[in-house]
Amino acid sequence: MAGTGQTARELTGGPAPRVLLHGIWQPVCYHFTYGNLPLQQHVVSEEPIIPDTATASNAAIASEAQMKVLSTPDVLVIILSQLPHSSLLKAKLVNKTWAGVFENVEIQASLFVRPRPKESALYTETYSDLLINKFLTWPTNPAEYEDKHHSWQWRQLLVCQPPVEALEIVQQVNQRFGGTLEFRTIIPRPGGLRMGFLYDAIRYWHQVENSSVELLWNRKTGDFTDSMRIYPDGSNYKTLDDKPCVTIWGKTGVGCGQYGGRLDEIANRPMWALACTACEKDDVTLIDEAIQGALQKNYLSEQEILKLYSGIAIRKNSTKVLTHLIKHHSLSVESLNPADVAREGIPSKEIVATLLANGWDINARDESTTGPKAEPFLWHVVKDIDMVAWCLEHGASVHPKVTTSHRSCQQILEKAAASATVATFELLRSKGAPLGWRSLHRAVQLTTDYQPGRGESDGGEDERVKEYRLDRARKYEERMAMVRHLVDVVGINVNALDQPVGANLQGRWGTPICYVPRAYETEMDFGLYRDTRELTWFLLDRGADPTRALELAKEVFENERFVDDVEEWTAKQLR
């Protein structure tokens, strides 16, 4: 990893671990502990910042002095910058005067968008109440990671103020026959550690390193992770330039059936580079040299090396190298599960044809894991209608193998409803694909991940922000088109349940409209909640019962905007 410094220390005696290749074993769920979350310095009031009109009309009229204070930008900045993150976002909606101070550096710092100036009177340790709450509902299985689509604005938020400028990763490897090794990596984050980078790092540690994760707060790089352990060759890692950090503490085990993270590229980087060159040139001679060099290092078995290098060949569309690995090195095509073949995006048709010509089963499922990674290849390429059509012509089935219920594998139309176009959905339906329990539910759920277009900006918009905004608007329209199609054309009941009566499956909320109020991710540029009015009103117009959804909005998701949308729709019906 570029720009990092890595050290390793022995906590007790024992040989260095041999870590198995990623892909051999996958956990059903991930272990995540958010640690001792920092205490909030703010107590969030349940009362609104400004009383509503009806209440205000019965209260005493604010004095002229109060109005003057609340209309003075400098004073207003001082007051608003002391609010907790969640309340400050609501304050932006009060009036134009209040919204006008939101470019102030102190307000931006209180929104966790930019670092707080060192000369600021508020230069004290502060954490966002909104972000801290996210750690309480962190993904703990592959399906939950699949469903998470955090916004660009959310990913840019600082983890804390003042920002920590280092992420420390500590991997503790417990060896079965004695000894514990500890690997430390310090990743500098100039400008501050942001939520997107921390999220990606934890996800990598879960899905690639197959490691449990615990977050450690209020510490500096080099601090002990476990006060009960000692280092035989010294007291600690402390140095003069240690910085405040957040630490990801991962624990793995090796030996006798225990699996840890991977050492593939790290263990043998020169041979990895040679294998990449071989695949870029589609040169079988160079790939033979890379295999022999890796075998001499004795880090991985031959089949592990072949699987690793086949992944490079797939990504780089190296059909000659892939064929050579299968025919001359006995690469087992059965070892290439669907997720491996589609790991870096949709592979070329030539690569898939090469695999099929050598006995690869396009309908196979990965029985070593569950969730989205276990799904057949067609499920992984459903976003590409050309590849879907090609796969159907070459033997792909719309019925998942080795499944006795919807618990084992979601139906292909459920996947298509969430991420494909209407044309792809209808192509699959024409082949006899069943709807499953949650086609409409998944379409509604994914629609809430995007934001409807709001026309042209007033100018001065950063190009990246503009591109991001327009892309979200395009995806929103695509998903809304799917929702309309499922209800108005396919005829799915808007009050259909998402599981059999009496079942209690994880992540199921009820009818399709119950999936709307979960759209609670903070949107810095677009308001406190994602705008789901059009989606909500469409479902209500078609007869959706909002009773359970309102309970979830109030008691679970605290989504006030959804409640307002339902109330406004109801009031409109009474006029």
3-state helix/strand/coil string of 459-504: CCCCHHHHHHHHHHHHHHHHHHHHHHHHHHHHCCCCCCCCCCCCCC
Q: Is the pLDDT of residue 365 over 80?
A: yes
Question: pTM for this one?
Answer: 0.61
pLDDT value at residue 4 = 44
pLDDT (0 to 100) of residue 257? 34
For the segment 133-139, the average pLDDT, to the nearest whole number, is 68
**Percentage of the chain surpassing pLDDT 70?**
67
Is the confidence at residue 425, as pLDDT, over 80?
yes
pLDDT value for 499:
86
Q: What is the pLDDT of residue 298?
A: 62
What pLDDT shows up at residue 76? 74
pLDDT at 367: 74
Other Cβ atoms closer than 10 A to 67? 11
pLDDT surpasses 50 at 25: no
Terminal Cα distance for the chain, rounded: 62
Average pLDDT over residues 170-196: 75
**In which band, very low, low, confident or very high, does the pLDDT at 402 lie, cut at 50, 70 and 90?**
low
Distance CA 109, CA 81 (A): 8
Q: In what order do the strands lie in the sheet with 5-10?
A: 5-10, 180-188, 166-175, 244-254, 212-220, 32-33
Residue 69 carries which side chain, given as an amino acid letter? V
Q: Taking all residues of the chain, what is their mean pLDDT, rounded to a whole number?
A: 76
| Whether the predicted pLDDT of 187 surpasses 70 | yes
CATH no., domain 437-575: 1.25.40
| pLDDT band, very low/low/confident/very high, at 511 (cuts 50, 70, 90) | very high
Other residues' Cβ atoms within 10 Å of the Cβ of residue 505: 11
What does the pLDDT read at residue 523?
A: 44
- Which tens digit of pLDDT belongs to each residue from 60-81? 445 666 666 666 677 777 777 7
Is 439:447 a contact under the CB 8 Å cutoff? no
Q: What is the pLDDT of residues 436-487, one digit of tens each?
A: 899 999 999 999 888 776 655 555 566 766 777 788 889 999 999 999 999 9
* pLDDT higher at 536 or 119: 536
pLDDT at 79: 78
| pLDDT above 90 (res 375) | no
Residue 331's Cβ-count burial label (10 Å; 0-12, 13-18, 19+) is buried
SS (H, E, C) 132-156: HHHHHCCCCCHHHHHHCCCCHHHHC
Considering only residues 259 and 386, tell me which one the structure prediction assigns the higher pLDDT.
386
- Least confident segment among 93-102, 349-358, 387-396, 416-425: 93-102
CA dihedral (18, 19, 23, 28) positive or negative: positive
Per-residue confidence (pLDDT) for residue 439, from 0 to 100: 95
Q: How confident is the model at residue 50 (pLDDT cuts 50, 70, 90)?
A: very low
d(CA 110, CA 82): 8
Select the highest-mean-pLDDT range: 11-25, 393-407, 559-573: 559-573
Which pLDDT belongs to residue 27?
45
* Residue predicted with more confidence, 260 or 29: 29
Residue-wise pLDDT for 188-231, tens only, equals: 888 889 888 888 888 887 776 667 788 888 888 877 776 555 55
pLDDT for 349: 94
What pLDDT sits at residue 135?
67
**Model confidence band, residue 340 (pLDDT cutoffs 50, 70, 90):** confident
Band of residue 142 on the pLDDT scale cut at 50, 70, 90: low
Is a pLDDT exceeding 80 seen at residue 165? yes
Residue 439's identity, in one-letter code, is S
Q: Which pLDDT band holds residue 428 (cuts at 50, 70, 90)?
A: very high
C-alpha 128/C-alpha 270 separation (Å) is 44
279-288 long-range Cβ contacts below 8 angstroms, 24+ apart: 279/309, 279/312, 279/313, 279/315, 279/316, 279/318, 279/321, 280/316, 280/318, 282/318, 282/319, 282/320, 282/321, 283/320, 283/321, 284/320, 284/321, 284/324, 284/328, 287/313, 287/321, 287/324, 287/325
pLDDT band at 177 (very low <50, low <70, confident <90, very high): very low
Cβ-contact 109, 124 below 8 angstroms: no
253-257, 410-414, 476-480: range with lowest mean pLDDT = 253-257
Q: Greater confidence, 152 or 405?
A: 152
